[in-house]
């Protein structure tokens, strides 16, 4: 019987101590093979129909991981594009509440509309800052800069009390941190971080009634019968979230399908336990060295103020982390081990 450890060991053999999943995830061996197969199909001129089927396989897998019906999941390429759809659905003058310093791809679509009232408050004050005129709360589940977790329960309670909706960016959480399906109205994420896929894939979860989003980017893939929607106006848009699909990067979807298979085999709960245990080990070690990380209990991302300048030297030593907002950011995922944590701590002790 394969265990968590044996499954992971069969898929990954990094040459460096890679603690940078918050920037980009490693590709499993099965994903590399899937992308290679897809590229060879294109090179050999064989029918690519099976690659289009991968888009639906990814949609269903993402839906299982998130615990929502596949009909609520749209496929795309970036969070910013889907954020633009959500922004376009808001009435002129609507108030959007965001967290200070949240990721640009999430908040920028609301600023660029020009006729929305975008208000930013500290992450910890999101819930208490929702008011009757708030139309939407847009926030990352996990902050990219420092790993802090949003209080989704409090935010949901506040938005329900005031009739507002919630748009979550789960790019830094999906794959390791379970999020309850009733915690949001809209959720978007990329597939190249904690889901371990190639670049070029994102997804959007919408309400069952589609949330009133306008199909601004409707191309042939958004038709109820896509292959009959290639010419002229689309006679009938898909009745599901597929009406918001973007024409797929086929190689990337083939790869993500394989990566999602690994995530599902391991189980998000098991990945969560593994990742957070390593992050807690790192936090404890930092304190013995006299460093206090940014408070982010329960996060797989650990940010250490003032140590961002160490990133280049760590990289030279074969330890990959990020420098964000002056902090050193380490992100712990399924392919990391206690030995990786200890190596980083030893390097920081020098």
Residue that terminates a domain, selected from 239, 265, 291: 265
118 & 96 share domain: yes
Same domain, 206 and 275: no
Claim to verify: residue 45 and residue 23 sit in the same structural domain: no
The Cα–Cα gap between 172 and 175 comes to: 9
Across-strand partners of 138?
A: 98, 167
pLDDT in tens, the chain (350 residues): 789 999 999 999 999 999 999 999 999 999 999 999 999 999 999 999 999 999 999 999 999 999 999 999 999 999 999 999 999 999 999 999 999 999 999 999 999 999 999 999 999 999 999 999 999 999 999 999 999 999 999 999 999 999 999 999 999 999 999 999 999 999 999 999 999 999 999 999 999 999 999 999 999 999 999 999 999 999 999 999 999 999 999 999 999 999 999 999 999 999 999 999 999 999 999 999 999 999 999 999 999 999 999 999 999 999 999 999 899 999 999 999 999 999 999 999 98
Claim to verify: residue 132 and residue 213 sit in the same structural domain? yes
A 10 A CB-CB count for 214 gives 11
Domain-terminating residue out of 231, 265, 299: 265
Report yes or no on 154 lying in a domain. yes
Residue 119 maps to a domain: yes
Task: Output phi, psi for 17, to 5 deg.
Answer: -80, 100
Q: Note whether 176 and 304 are same-domain residues.
A: no
226: domain CATH number is 3.40.640.10
| Domain annotation covers residue 163 | yes
DSSP bridge partners of 183: none
CATH assignment of the domain containing 9: 3.90.1150.10
174 domain-assigned: yes
Lookup result for tokens 């081990």? 337
In a domain, 35, yes or no: no
Q: Residue 244: give the domain boundaries.
A: 41-265
Strands 319-320 and 17-18: parallel
244: nearest Cα among 68, 87, 109, 74: 74
- Are 271 and 255 within one domain? no
Q: What pLDDT does 330 receive?
A: 98
Task: Let me know whether 154 and 231 are in one domain.
Answer: yes
Q: Is residue 290 part of a domain?
A: yes
Which of 209, 237, 265 is a domain's end point?
Answer: 265
Question: What total of structural domains would you count in the chain?
Answer: 2
Any residues with CB less than 8 A from the CB of 185 and at least 6 apart, and which? 165, 166, 167, 206, 207, 211
Closest listed residue to residue 169, CA positions, set 86, 227, 244? 86
Residue 19 shares a structural domain with residue 127: no
- Same-domain status, 130 and 156: yes
d(CA 238, CA 70): 13
Domain for residue 36, yes or no?
A: no
Q: Are residues 50 and 23 in the same domain?
A: no
Do 299 and 213 fall into the same domain?
no
C-alpha to C-alpha distance for 293 and 284, rounded to whole angstroms: 10
- Are 96 and 135 in contact, with CB atoms under 8 Å apart? yes
Residues written for the chain: 350
For residues 160 and 234, membership in a common domain is answered with yes
For residue 59, with 0-12 CB atoms within 10 Å meaning exposed, 13-18 middle and 19 or more buried, which class applies? buried
| Assigned domain for 34 exists | no
């Amino acid at each position: 019987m394969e265990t968590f450890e044996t499954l992971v060991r069969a898929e990954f053999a990094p040459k460096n101590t890679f603690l940078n999943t918050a920037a980009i995830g490693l590709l499993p061996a099965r994903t590399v093979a899937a992308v290679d197969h897809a590229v060879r199909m294109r090179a050999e001129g064989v029918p690519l129909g099976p690659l289009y089927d991968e888009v639906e396989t990814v949609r269903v897998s993402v839906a299982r991981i998130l615990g929502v019906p596949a009909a609520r999941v749209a496929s795309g390429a970036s969070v910013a594009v889907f954020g633009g759809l959500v922004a376009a659905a808001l009435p002129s003058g609507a108030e959007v509440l965001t967290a200070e310093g949240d990721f640009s791809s999430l908040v920028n679509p609301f600023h660029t509309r020009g006729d929305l009232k975008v208000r930013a408050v500290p992450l910890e004050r999101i819930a208490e800052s929702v008011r009757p005129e708030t139309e939407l709360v847009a926030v990352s589940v996990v902050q990219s800069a420092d790993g802090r977790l949003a209080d989704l329960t409090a935010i949901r309670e506040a938005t329900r009390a005031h009739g507002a909706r919630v748009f979550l960016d789960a790019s830094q959480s999906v794959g390791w941190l379970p999020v309850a399906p009733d915690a949001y109205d809209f959720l978007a994420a990329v597939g190249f971080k904690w889901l371990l896929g190639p670049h070029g894939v994102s997804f959007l979860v919408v309400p069952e009634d589609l949330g009133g989003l306008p199909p601004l980017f409707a191309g042939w893939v958004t038709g109820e019968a896509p292959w009959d929607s290639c010419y002229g106006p689309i006679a009938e848009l898909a009745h599901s979230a597929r009406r918001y699909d973007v024409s797929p990067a086929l190689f990337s979807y083939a790869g993500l399908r394989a990566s999602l298979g690994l995530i599902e085999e391991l189980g998000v709960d098991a990945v969560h336990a593994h990742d957070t245990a390593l992050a807690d080990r790192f936090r404890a070690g930092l304190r013995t060295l006299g460093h206090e990380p940014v408070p982010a209990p329960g996060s797989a991302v650990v940010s250490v103020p003032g140590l961002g300048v160490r990133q280049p030297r760590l990289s030279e030593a074969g330890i990959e982390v990020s420098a964000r907002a002056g902090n050193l950011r380490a992100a712990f995922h399924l392919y990391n081990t206690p030995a990786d944590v200890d190596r980083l701590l030893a390097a920081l002790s020098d």
